[in-house]
Structure 1
Amino acid sequence: MTKRNEPLAELVTEAGLSEGGLARRVNELGQDEGLQLTYDYTAVYRWVRKGQRPEPPVPSLIAQALSERLGRQVRPSDFGMTDTASLATRALTYNSDVPGTVDTILELGRTELKSRGMQRRRMMTAPFVLAAAAGPSRDWLLSTLDETFDQDAPRKIGMRQIDGIRGMFKIMQEMDVMRGGGHARVTLVEYLSGYVLPLVRRQHDQEAVQLALYEAAAEQAYLVGWMAYDDGQHGLAQRYLIQSLRLASASKNKVLGAHVLAGMSDQANLLGYPEEALALARVGQRGITISDSPACMADLQILEARALAALARDGRPKGSVTEAVRRAEATFQHVRPDNEPEWARFIDPAYLYGEAAHCFRDIADTAQIDRFASESAAEAARQHRARRGALSQAALVSGDLQRNEIERAATRGQTVISLAETVESSRCIETVRDLTKRFKPHGRMPEVQAFQARAGQLLKVA
């Protein structure tokens, strides 16, 4: 038996609306959008007294009708409903105000944690929208160029709550790196929605406290988005990353904003949009300098190289790829881990050289594949980072195949599977899937058949 929707009942009473009056206004608003709605007082009775939830876009129309009467903004989440169609669109927007950003992230979290059935499926399968990437990156860069930053300000605010939030970020980032994005994302969403964002919503007298909270919330929203990306939830990931970018701007931390753009570039390239990936990586580089964060700059430069390598497959000059990798290597030499933020801790040789290896895989430079992938795989093994190890070993497999060293490639392919089996990462799964396609021309070889059989089992389970 469904429960009475008390928040909706209170809002309807406060607005001075009868059940029939609310139904009529919802119908009128729907007609403005080309909908033929025929609700009457019995529908509102069911929404209020029995807790029934109409399908989108009706929750947004109810909220609009209430907002008109109350003279303030009411969202579907205020009365226990989530209009997933409206939320999916709204979450692609770089909000002009921070409270709207916080509300959007909270709604994303509620949809993941509490929605069931069709509502949750709609949000979890919301598409990646290519056109949505340009606006947020432009707005972030403009706000960054307009701001004056205190370069000597300490990165960490000595406050117990904020230090605790950052401690949780450190733990969650470690779990993502070691176990994959699908392992602990729900836990982080619960923490962000239940603890961090309510703190951000409060008014704090000290500006330093408010800025530090914006920064901590931006870091966690980014990590949720990154975990969703690694878990193959690309539409959801994009929406978290855009909202994180807005909070990073509110925190006046331009390096963190550039880091978010790096994540957006990485995702765009993975999804087959290298032109957009290139633009995002270059916007990030324009917003910061090497002295701000050598690690972040090197990351943006290697992602620029990844995009250039993808474009080189379509006939663009390969020399630009090599030059971009060299710039990233040179910048990385300036990294001093103690001077970098916590989120930059894994922008290290395992990561940077692994990304470089994939650049050279795309332009078929086998010598450079071996050089960079071997260093990345060795460092990943030292740190027990299975996801990074799997990706770098896969680059070595590609190099072996390009040299026609099939048996060696198949042996290394078994290592990729062993590593991929230990993490919850759609990127690892897709890497194995990619290797099965690359091995197809050699399917008669026993070593390849053994690899394909084992890969088939992993893909079936995934």
Structure 2
Amino acid sequence: MDPSRRSVIGASLFAVALAVPNWADVVGRMEAVRMGQTQRLGMPEVDMAIAMTERVSELDDQFGGRHARPMAAAFLVNTVVPYLKADAPEPVRKAMMSAASYLCYLIGYMAVDEGLQGLARRSHSKALQLAAAAGDDSAYCTTLRGMSVQAVDMGRGPLALRLADAAATASPKAGPRMRAFLAGQQAHAAAWTGDRGNALACIGKAEAAMEKAESRAETFGSYDLPSLAYHIGQVRYGLGDIRGSIEAMEQSDKLRDPTHHRSRVRYLSMLAERQLEIGHLDAACDTWGRVVDIYPLVQSGQCDQSVATMRARLRPHLKTPVARALYERARLLAPASLPA
């Protein structure tokens, strides 16, 4: 294949794109659409767009969104937007809008990771529009759920709960895994508003749905046992059970894919903060030590903030040798832009 065809999506995505099935068969048609030549789209282009989005999502899981989001944005602008304007049979057109919806959702998700809240809201809004136009209930409720996660992170519990409830309502025919995915977020948001009964009811629904879940998890709108354990931990913490939260978060990390570095840094950091909250300094330092081991592998605004929080929490304990040693390790690794 002519290396000049890297211009279709940009050099940074080229290596990722080579892993997409049938890439060599699709790239010429991509270039024809980009150049404005007459081209009628088919399902191979849709499949390619889905596969590319999944690959970028995998990169985000492993290494964080700081590098992956610009690649996703370039793919959206240079390839997917021209696809949306190209001639296509109606089923293909709707399938491409659905694929574009998930891509916009992913861009918004990664923007949250970087602290770009305005960009995240705009991306999520576009994802909702595309999902609605495609008639894709799954993409629509997945995006609403993502907006709920963003609201929880920003401390806006009532809004998070409204969005989580709307997401659950938007997909009445969802399968067990999707129901668990939505109910887990409902439980998290309800706990953050202090609604104990609702939180416990929703986490119970998530547990019951996971027992019936199909064996294969999808990239988006998916849920797994580590995620369920994480939500159990968040519900327990939101309802004041710190020790129960610690137990659930420890279980979540044991089950989590070790290559999902960004999630592990964030959630291990939460675990350490809660261990310290109940006075277990040695356990917190041990957990934070794992964070420091993983942290150099990721490029993530949320992970940067987790490390900054760790250093702030350790500062009152610097007379303790284990805390001092950990603090110095973190100081050497952290970017200069982080608070000292």
- Which residue number in structure 2 is paired with residue 208 of structure 1? 91
- Which residue number in structure 2 is paired with residue 388 of structure 1? 263
Report the CA distance between 1:265 and its aligned residue: 0.6
Q: Does residue 427 of structure 1 match 2:306?
A: no
Q: Does residue 351 of structure 1 match 2:227?
A: yes
Report the CA distance between 1:174 and its aligned residue: 0.7
Report the CA distance between 1:352 and its aligned residue: 2.8
**Cα-to-partner distance string for 1:15-67 (whole Å, 9 max, x where unaligned):** xxxxxxxxxxxxxxxxxxxxxxxxxxxxxxxxxxxxxxxxxxxxxxxxxxxxx
Cα distance in structure 2, aligned partners of 1:294 and 1:182 = 33
Report the CA distance between 1:387 and its aligned residue: 1.6
Map 1:311-460; keep pairs closer than 5 Å: 311=193, 316-338=194-216, 341-345=218-222, 347-380=223-256, 382-460=257-335
The structure whose Rg is larger is 1
- Which residue number in structure 2 is paired with residue 301 of structure 1? 183
Q: Relative to structure 1, is the Cα distance of residues 334 and 387 closer, same or farther in structure 2, using a 3 angstrom cutoff?
A: same
Q: Relative to structure 1, is the Cα distance of residues 449 and 430 closer, same or farther in structure 2, using a 3 angstrom cutoff?
A: same
Question: Relative contact order: is structure 1 or structure 2 higher (C-alpha 8 Å, sep ≥ 6)?
Answer: 2
Report the CA distance between 1:355 and its aligned residue: 3.3
Identity of aligned residues (%): 26
Q: CA RMSD in A?
A: 2.3
Q: Relative to structure 1, is the Cα distance of residues 256 and 363 closer, same or farther in structure 2, using a 3 angstrom cutoff?
A: same
Alpha-carbon contact 1:181-1:229 (below 8 Å) kept: no
- Which residue number in structure 2 is paired with residue 163 of structure 1? 47
- Identify unmatched segments of 5+ residues in structure 2: 1-40
- Which residue number in structure 1 is paired with residue 170 of structure 2? 287
- Identify unmatched segments of 5+ residues in structure 1: 1-156
Alpha-carbon contact 2:225-2:255 (below 8 Å) kept: yes
Moved more, 450-459 or 255-264: 450-459
Q: Relative to structure 1, is the Cα distance of residues 350 and 388 closer, same or farther in structure 2, using a 3 angstrom cutoff?
A: farther
Alpha-carbon contact 2:181-2:221 (below 8 Å) kept: no
Cα distance in structure 1, aligned partners of 2:249 and 2:44 = 41
Q: Relative to structure 1, is the Cα distance of residues 187 and 460 closer, same or farther in structure 2, using a 3 angstrom cutoff?
A: closer
- Which residue number in structure 1 is paired with residue 66 of structure 2? 182
Secondary structure at the aligned position of 1:343 is classed as: coil
Q: Relative to structure 1, is the Cα distance of residues 256 and 293 closer, same or farther in structure 2, using a 3 angstrom cutoff?
A: farther
Q: Does residue 258 of structure 1 match 2:165?
A: no
Secondary structure at the aligned position of 1:344 is classed as: coil
Q: Relative to structure 1, is the Cα distance of residues 325 and 395 closer, same or farther in structure 2, using a 3 angstrom cutoff?
A: farther
Alpha-carbon contact 2:115-2:301 (below 8 Å) kept: yes
Report the CA distance between 1:416 and its aligned residue: 1.5
**Cα-to-partner distance string for 1:418-460 (whole Å, 9 max, x where unaligned):** 2222111112222223333444553432222223333344444
Alpha-carbon contact 1:301-1:324 (below 8 Å) kept: yes
Amino acid corresponding to residue 103 of structure 2 in structure 1:
Q
Q: Relative to structure 1, is the Cα distance of residues 182 and 295 closer, same or farther in structure 2, using a 3 angstrom cutoff?
A: farther
Alpha-carbon contact 1:222-1:244 (below 8 Å) kept: yes
Report the CA distance between 1:247 and its aligned residue: 0.1
Cα distance in structure 2, aligned partners of 1:377 and 1:158 = 41
Map 1:28-47; keep pairs closer than 5 Å: none
Cα distance in structure 2, aligned partners of 1:392 and 1:288 = 28
